């Protein structure tokens, strides 16, 4: 793409907000199952010309979980519903390769791409938490095996998306030919983990392939992204770390013969916006005051993969082996604790606020500056915006920060196309020649 490089923005949508205590703010609406709230918030993001709405997902629940994840809509049905109340904004949902079936996944995202006229995206995850297996009558595979499965899973899905030529469904009433037999391709995939014949029972979708997002930042995660993804969602704490990740990822992309620009790197960040730096800090403190160690610790422990009950919360994070299951997140949090000399309590609070993502605190200009610094400094091609609570946390961002980015020519003032692929500046994939 020769067009000017612009920041991409995702709205990371969570019913009860991203800060663990966000829902307790007097202005917060907490709606895990409140479709009306999610609809309004998605429309706010669309009005601000965001690239996409983004839904994370998990397959477990419990009262100790982050309130946004105790109970929520099933993401694919939610995305289909959001397709009907929005026009232009992309629609991304998370679906696991460890707990899914390629045929179902290929079909559901294609279906959403049809329903939304070309706005669907699949966030590919391998599922971090081993307890998920308890809901699926199986055991949780090891980290690297999960990625081996994911590599094959994604290939099957992409193959199924190419089952039919774009013009296969001719529906000729005179000749009686509904689907042209010369334009169907039987996948006949048989490999280590999957055997999937095809063809898929849905026409090729408006985008050709729905957009592929990858979230998981270890070496194997980056390899999967470099080979298959259009967008990488990642958690990065500091500019330097983000730059290192960005470089590592783009090098892998180029090594595989793709262009560095073919993959957009989008770290998550949690904006806390004030008229002054002090007002922003006070806002965060207001939210943090509602977070006690009891609610914060499980969030830290599940991301570190170790129980910390035997350690002094006001002492340093002990030296613990990096959990293989959780690799990139466990490394990130350990590095953060070491770098900033955080106690367990401080680290737990940080996770409760941003779950390992960067927290941007400041005035609108300061936040725009930081975003520009990351963008110009090749730490990010865009950001997955994580408002601490809804809808106000998003409105602050769209009303106060977005106009600054637009004035600086860093962010669109209008959509130039109608598909997510257009927003990302990506060409429609051709059918593989036979």
Ligand X SMILES: Cc1cc2nc3c(=O)[nH]c(=O)nc-3n(C[C@H](O)[C@H](O)[C@H](O)COP(=O)(O)O)c2cc1C
List 43, 129, 199, 288, residue binding a copy of itself (CB under 8 A): 199
**Distance between CA 206 and CA 116 in Å, rounded?**
9
Which of 60/243 has CB closer to a copy of itself? 60
**Distance between CA 128 and CA 216 in Å, rounded?**
9
Structure tokens belonging to residue 274: 């004030």
| Partner from a copy of itself, ligand X, none binding residue 125, C-beta < 5-8 Å depending on class | ligand X
H/E run at residue 142: none
Residue 343 · residue 313 · CB < 8 Å: yes
Q: Could you say whether residue 201 binds a copy of itself (CB under 8 A)?
A: yes
| Partner from ligand X, a copy of itself, none binding residue 79, C-beta < 5-8 Å depending on class | a copy of itself
Residue 119 · residue 81 · CB < 8 Å: no
Which of 36/340 has CB closer to a copy of itself? 36
Which of 97/363 has CB closer to a copy of itself? 97
List 11, 48, 108, 215, residue binding ligand X (CB under 6 A): 215
Distance of closest approach, residue 290 Cβ to ligand X, in angstroms: 24
Identify any residues that bridge with 208 across adjacent strands, giving them in sequence order: 205
| Partner from a copy of itself, ligand X, none binding residue 221, C-beta < 5-8 Å depending on class | ligand X
| Of the candidates 336, 23, 286, 266, the residue with the CA atom closest to the CA atom of residue 121 | 266
Identify any residues that bridge with 11 across adjacent strands, giving them in sequence order: 53, 385
What residues from 106 to 135 belong to the interface with ligand X (CB under 6 A)? Answer: 125-128
| Partner from ligand X, a copy of itself, none binding residue 322, C-beta < 5-8 Å depending on class | none
Distance of closest approach, residue 354 Cβ to ligand X, in angstroms: 11
Largest CA distance in the chain: 79
Residue 331 · residue 134 · CB < 8 Å: no
What residues from 285 to 344 belong to the interface with ligand X (CB under 6 A)? Answer: 326-329
Q: Could you say whether residue 252 binds ligand X (CB under 6 A)?
A: no
Helix axes 219-228, 239-255, angle to 10 degrees: 50
Q: Which residues contact 271 (CB under 8 A, 6 or more apart)?
A: 360, 367, 385, 386, 387, 388, 393, 396, 397, 401
| Partner from a copy of itself, ligand X, none binding residue 351, C-beta < 5-8 Å depending on class | none
Which of 156/371 has CB closer to a copy of itself? 156
List 176, 257, 321, 432, residue binding a copy of itself (CB under 8 A): 176
Strands of 113-226 (E only): list them.
120-125, 189-190, 195-196, 211-215
x/- binding map, residues 45-64, to a copy of itself, per CB under 8 A? -------------xxxxxx-
Distance of closest approach, residue 205 Cβ to ligand X, in angstroms: 23
H/E run at residue 85: none
**Distance between CA 56 and CA 191 in Å, rounded?**
29
x/- binding map, residues 32-71, to ligand X, per CB under 6 A? ------------------------xxx-------------
What residues from 257 to 296 belong to the interface with a copy of itself (CB under 8 A)? Answer: 290, 292, 295
List 102, 221, 388, 391, residue binding ligand X (CB under 6 A): 221
| Of the candidates 227, 233, 256, the residue with the CA atom closest to the CA atom of residue 246 | 233
List 218, 228, 291, 406, residue binding ligand X (CB under 6 A): 218
Residue 210 · residue 113 · CB < 8 Å: yes
Give residues in contact with ligand X (CB under 6 A). Answer: 56-58, 94, 96, 125-128, 215-218, 221, 233-235, 326-329
């Amino acid at each position: 793409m020769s067009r000017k490089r612009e920041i991409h923005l995702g709205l990371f949508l969570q019913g009860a907000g991203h800060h663990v205590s966000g829902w307790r703010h007097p202005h917060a609406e907490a709606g895990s199952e409140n479709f009306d709230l999610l609809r309004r918030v998605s429309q706010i993001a669309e009005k601000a010309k965001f690239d996409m709405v983004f839904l994370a997902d998990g397959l477990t629940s419990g009262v100790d979980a982050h309130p946004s994840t105790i109970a929520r809509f099933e993401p694919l049905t939610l995305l289909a519903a959001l397709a009907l109340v929005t026009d232009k904004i992309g629609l991304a949902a998370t679906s696991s390769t460890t707990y899914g079936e390629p045929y179902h996944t290929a079909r559901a995202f294609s279906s959403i791409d049809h329903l939304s006229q070309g706005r669907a995206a699949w966030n590919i995850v391998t599922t971090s938490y081993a307890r998920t297996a308890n809901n699926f009558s199986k055991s949780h595979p090891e980290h690297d095996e999960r990625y081996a499965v994911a590599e094959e899973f994604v290939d099957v899905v992409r193959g199924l998306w190419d089952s039919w030529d774009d013009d296969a469904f001719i529906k000729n009433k005179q000749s009686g030919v509904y689907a042209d037999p010369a334009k169907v391709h039987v996948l006949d995939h048989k490999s280590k983990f999957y055997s999937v014949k095809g063809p898929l029972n849905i026409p090729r979708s408006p985008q050709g392939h729905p957009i592929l997002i990858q979230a998981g930042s270890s070496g194997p995660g980056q390899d999967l992204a470099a080979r298959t993804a259009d967008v990488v969602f990642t958690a990065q704490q500091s500019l330097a770390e983000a730059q290192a990740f960005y470089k590592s990822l783009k090098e892998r992309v180029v090594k595989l013969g793709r262009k560095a620009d073919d993959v957009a790197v989008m770290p998550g960040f949690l904006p806390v916006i004030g008229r002054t730096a002090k007002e922003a800090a006070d806002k965060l403190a207001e939210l943090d005051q509602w977070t006690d160690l009891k609610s914060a610790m499980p969030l830290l422990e599940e991301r570190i993969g170790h129980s910390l009950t035997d350690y002094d919360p006001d002492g340093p994070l002990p030296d613990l082996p990096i959990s293989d299951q959780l690799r990139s997140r466990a490394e990130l949090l350990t590095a953060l604790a070491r770098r900033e000399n955080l106690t367990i309590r401080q680290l737990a609070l940080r996770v409760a606020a941003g779950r390992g993502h960067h927290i941007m605190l400041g005035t609108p200009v300061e936040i725009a500056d930081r975003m520009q610094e990351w963008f110009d400094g090749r730490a990010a091609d865009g950001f997955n915006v994580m408002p601490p609570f809804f809808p106000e946390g998003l409105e602050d961002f769209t009303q106060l920060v977005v106009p600054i980015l637009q004035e600086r020519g860093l962010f669109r003032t209008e959509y130039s196309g109608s598909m997510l692929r257009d927003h990302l500046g990506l060409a429609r994939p051709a059918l593989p020649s036979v």
